[in-house]
Chain A
C-alpha cells in the first residue's frame, strides 16, 4: 500500500527563481500553461498513487524548486511514450518536459558544463563532436605505419597496442566521469528526503537493486508491458514496436562493446592476437556482427521515425537526441563498411580512412556517454532503486 508522498513535512521552500526558462533551453516547451490538473499523471501507464509524476515534477519546475526536482528519482522512470502529452488539456507537453528534465538532471550531475552545452546548443554540439572525432582520427593517424601486403591489414596500419592503450584511456575517462556523476546523483537524491532513507534490510536493498537493474534496466519489463506505442499502431509486428527498437539499439551497442573488450582480452591472454583473421562463426566476431546489425537496424529506424515525426513519442527531437543517435549509427555503419573493405578483392584505398573514422567515432561515443542521452543508463538504475526503496514498489505495480 502506498499513499501520495507529501511535501508538507519538508523544509519551507523559498520561491525566488523559476526553473522554466532554464528547462526551456533544454528543450521543454513552455509548461507554464500547465494548471496542475493531473491528467498526465492519471494517464501515465507507469504512474502510481505514489509517483504523482509528471505533475509533481512540473510543479517543482514552475515554482523553481531545483533541489526537489534534481532529487526526484521519478525523472528517470519515464519511458517517453508521449501519452501524457496527447491527453494534456493545455498543450503543455509533459512528455517533452520529462525529456528536458532528464537532460537538465544529466547536466546538473556534470560539473564540467559539457553536458549542458551539448544539450542546449546545436551548433556547439555539432562543431564540438565533429572536432573531437577529427582530432581522435588525426591522433590515430599520427601513429600509422606503412602496410606491406596487398590485402588490408588494419593492425599493421595501426599498432594494436596503440589502439588498445588509447581505448583504455578513453574507458578510464568515461569511468571517472560516470562515477563522478553517479556520486553527485546519489548525493542529490539523498539530500532532500534524508529521513526516508533510514536503515533498510539487506533483503529490501537487494530486491530494489534486482528490480532496478535486472527487471527494469536489462529486461525493461514495464516498457514492454505498459508503455504502449501510439494508438492504432499497437498491432504492428514486434520488430517495429518501440520497445524492440530500443532493445535492438541497446543490445547492439552493448554487444559491440563486449565484443571489442573481449577481443582485447583475447589479445591480452595471447589466445588470439588482435588483427588475426577469424571466420564469421568465431564467437567474439559473431557477437560483434550481430551487435552491429542490431545497432544499425535500431538506430536507422529511430532516425527515420524522428525525421518523419509521425509518432507522439518522437514528435519533438532535441539536439541531444540527434547527436547520440547519429554517433551510434555512424559507429555501426562504419564498422560494416570496414567488413566490406576486408572482403573486397582489391583492398580499396578507402579502407584505412574508414578504419580511422570507425575507431574515432566509437571512442567519441564512449567518451561523451556520461554527457548525453546515454547517461540514463548510468543514473536510471540508481534512481529506480531509490524509488523502489522509498515506495516499496518503485513506482511500479509489483
Chain B
C-alpha cells in the first residue's frame, strides 16, 4: 500500500458504496465481494452494497453515515461519473463535507457492461478499481470552486427566430443583450418560409411579432450587418470583438469590443445544395422546398397554378422528393457542396413537404401531386394530421426502396412534359414508375451554418455532422462544452421553429441562472503551482493552449533576489494538464487530479494484496 500519510489514530474515515444498478452491475460483478474487499482496507470505516445508490435510499445512506460515523471521504462505485458524479458530490456537501472529498469509481461502463462473459475477472477488476478509488480518496484535499465576477450582459450571435427568442427572454429577466446579426435584417430563414406548421401562421408574421417585441425592449441592442471577429476570456467575462460585415473581411481588424458574461450561439443552418445534376438540380423546373413555399404563398388568391408559382408553361403535375441531402448513405448518395455525407434526418422536411403537397392539391385541384419518399416522419403533436390530410387531398405517395434513389431527368422532346421522375415503388411491389411532371420540388436537408470562424475562436466543439455539439443530448442539451457558451436553435442540429424557440428559451434560462449572482462558479479542477519547486523555466507557458491561463511573474525571494515564477489564472485554465506534463521540476499539479493521487491509484491497481487470490495472474498476461 502506498503511504497515505494517515497513520495510527490519524487514519482516514472512508465510506465505500457499491451499487447494483438494479442488476446492471450485480448480474456480472459480485458486488458483495467487492464491498468486502473494500471493507478490509484500513482506511475504510464502512462498505455497503445497495440496489440503487442514486435513489433516495442510497443518497440518504451516505448522508447518514457521514454524519453518524464521521466519515471524511466517500467513494461510490457505480455508473460512469458523467452521469452521477455531480449527484454524489451534492450528497456529500449536504452531509457537511467538502464536495471534493468524494471519489467515483466506474464499474458499470468499464466493468459489468464490458466483461459480461467473465464474471470472476470482472469482479476482480471492479475490486481493484474500487481500491484505486479508495487510495485516491485518501489523498483528496478540500477544494473551493473557482469564482469569477460576472458581467451581466449576454451576447446573442444570430438574429433568426432562435436568437430573437433568446434575446427577448433574457431582456425580460432584466439582462442586457447584444444581438449580433450578420445579414442586414432580422428573421433568418423563417422570414421566407410561407405559412408554417402547425399554426398556419406566415413566417413573416411570426418574425414581425418577435422583432417588434425585441425593438420595444430597451435592454436589447441590435447590431445588424455585424459579425464576431474575436473571442477571448471566459464565462462571466468574455471579451468579444465585433466588426461590420464588409466585402473583404479577411485581415480586417475588429471595430469594437464588448464585454459579456455569456454567449448564446444561434447561428442557424444552411440549406443543402445538391450536386449539380443530382435530382435534376440546376434544371429551371427543379426547385427547393424553401423556394417552392415562397412561390406557393406569395400569391394566395391566384387560382392558376402556373401564374401563382411563376412557372412558364402549364403546371399539370408536381413531384416532391423527400430526403434530398438527408439520411445519406455511403455508396448510394454523393455529398453535396459541403463535401460531407449527411447521415442525419433533417426532421422538418417531412411535415413541411406533405403540407406543401396538400396545400398544392387544395389550391390547384387539377394538378396531380406525387410525393416520393423513403420514410415519412411527421413526428410531433398534430403533425400526423398533415400526412393524413395530404392523403385525403389526393396526394399520391410513392415509396423509394432505402438503397435506391429516384432520378429526375429531362423528358424526351416528344413528351408533353418537361421532366420525368423515375423510381421503383415498394408500395406497389417494386413496380418501376415513370412520373411525368412539370415541376420537381426537392426537400433539401438542413446543414450546419458557416460557423468555422466562431468554432475556431471559441473552441466550442462540433459533432461529426458539423453542427455544434451539446454536452449531453438529454441532460445538458443547450450547453456547449465551453462554460458560458450556450447553443440555441438549429446551430445544434435540425429543428423546427417550435423546437428552435424551445431551445432558445432554455439557453436563455441557463444564462439567467449562470449570471444571476454576482459571481460565476466553476469547478476547481485547475492547475496549481508549487512555488517551492518552480524554477521559472516557462515550459508551461509555452505549452498552455488557453490564452492567459498560465504566465510568469516576478517573485521576490528571501535575499531580495527577484526571479520569474509560474502562476495560474484559474478562470482561464481548463485543467487539461499539459503544463503538468512538461514541467521539468514537477511543480505543477491539477487540483483534484494530482500526480501523487494518480500514483496511489496505479499502486492500488497493481498491488497484490495478501490473502486475496488474483483472478488474473500477471505472468499470464501477454502483450502485443
Contact = CB atoms under 8 A, between A and B. Distances in A.
Contacts of B394: 18, 20, 32
Contact of A34 (B317, B391, B428, B432): B391
30 contacts: A7-B428, A7-B430, A8-B432, A11-B432, A12-B432, A12-B433, A12-B434, A13-B431, A13-B432, A13-B434, A14-B434, A14-B435, A15-B396, A15-B434, A15-B435, A15-B436, A18-B394, A32-B392, A33-B392, A34-B391, A35-B387, A35-B397, A36-B397, A36-B427, A52-B429, A56-B428, A59-B428, A63-B396, A63-B433, A90-B388
Closest 4 A-B residue pairs measured CB to CB? A8-B430, A7-B431, A7-B429, A12-B432
Given A8-B430, A12-B422, A13-B433, 15 more contacts: A4-B429, A8-B431, A11-B432, A14-B433, A18-B368, A18-B396, A32-B391, A33-B388, A33-B391, A36-B427, A52-B429, A59-B427, A62-B396, A63-B428, A65-B431
B153 interface: no
B357 to A, nearest CB: 12
How many of chain A's residues touch chain B, expressed as a range? 20 to 34
A112 interface: no
Given A12-B422, A59-B427, A62-B396, A35 B391 contact: yes
B350 to A, nearest CB: 14
Interface in A256-313: none
A5 interface: yes
Main secondary structure of the interface of B (DSSP, over half): strand
A33 B396 CA distance: 10
Nearest to A56: B429
A14 B394 CA distance: 18
A10 interface: yes
Interface string B104-116: 0000000000000
A63 B430 CA distance: 13
Interface in B387-441: 387-388, 391-398, 422, 424-425, 427-436
A131 to B, nearest CB: 37
A13 B435 CA distance: 8
Contacts of B432: 8, 10-13
A168 B13 CA distance: 115
Contacts of A201: none
B370 interface: yes
Contacts of B395: 32
A302 to B, nearest CB: 33
Among A11, A14, A52, the one with the most B-chain Cβ atoms within 10 Å of its Cβ is A14
A10 B431 contact: yes
B394 to A, nearest CB: 5
Contacts of B370: 15
A15 B317 CA distance: 10
B94 to A, nearest CB: 53
B424 A8 contact: yes
Nearest to B416: A16
Contacts of A59: 427-428
A82 to B, nearest CB: 22
Interface string A32-59: 1111100000000000000010001001
B429 A14 contact: no
A90 B392 CA distance: 10
Among B395, B396, B428, the one with the most A-chain Cβ atoms within 10 Å of its Cβ is B428
Contacts of A63: 396, 398, 425, 428, 431, 433
A193 to B, nearest CB: 12
A22 interface: no
A5 B391 contact: no
Contacts of B433: 12-15, 63
Contacts of A374: none
A273 B317 CA distance: 69
A346 B538 CA distance: 137
Nearest to A15: B435
A71 to B, nearest CB: 13
B396 A5 contact: no
Nearest to A55: B427
Nearest to A38: B427
Given A33-B392, A62-B396, A14 B436 contact: yes
A94 to B, nearest CB: 15
Contacts of A7: 428-431
B391 A6 contact: no
Nearest to B389: A33
Among A12, A14, A63, the one with the most B-chain Cβ atoms within 10 Å of its Cβ is A63
A244 interface: no
Contacts of A8: 424, 429-432
Nearest to B415: A14
Interface in B343-397: 368, 370, 387-388, 391-397
Contacts of B398: 15, 63
Contacts of A155: none
B416 to A, nearest CB: 10
A11 B398 CA distance: 17
A279 B424 CA distance: 69
A36 B430 CA distance: 14
A63 B603 CA distance: 73
A336 interface: no
Contacts of B425: 63
A237 to B, nearest CB: 42
B128 to A, nearest CB: 55
A230 interface: no
Interface in A78-103: 90
Contacts of B424: 8
B600 to A, nearest CB: 63
B435 to A, nearest CB: 4
A207 interface: no
A170 to B, nearest CB: 43
A60 interface: yes
A105 B422 CA distance: 29
Nearest to A60: B428
Interface in B303-341: 317
Contacts of A321: none
A7 B398 CA distance: 14
Contacts of A35: 387-388, 391, 397
A254 B395 CA distance: 46
B235 to A, nearest CB: 50
Contacts of A52: 429
A15 B428 CA distance: 12
Interface in B188-214: none
Nearest to B425: A63
A268 B577 CA distance: 117
B599 to A, nearest CB: 64
Contact of A6 (B368, B396, B427, B429): B429
A96 B45 CA distance: 79
A90 B384 CA distance: 13
A250 B493 CA distance: 66
Interface in A54-76: 56, 59-60, 62-63, 65
Contacts of B436: 14-16
B412 to A, nearest CB: 13
B429 A5 contact: yes
A98 to B, nearest CB: 18
A90 B433 CA distance: 25
Among A10, A11, A12, A32, the one with the most B-chain Cβ atoms within 10 Å of its Cβ is A32
A16 B368 CA distance: 8
A124 B393 CA distance: 30
A20 B430 CA distance: 21
A90 B391 CA distance: 10
Interface string B505-533: 00000000000000000000000000000
Nearest to B428: A59
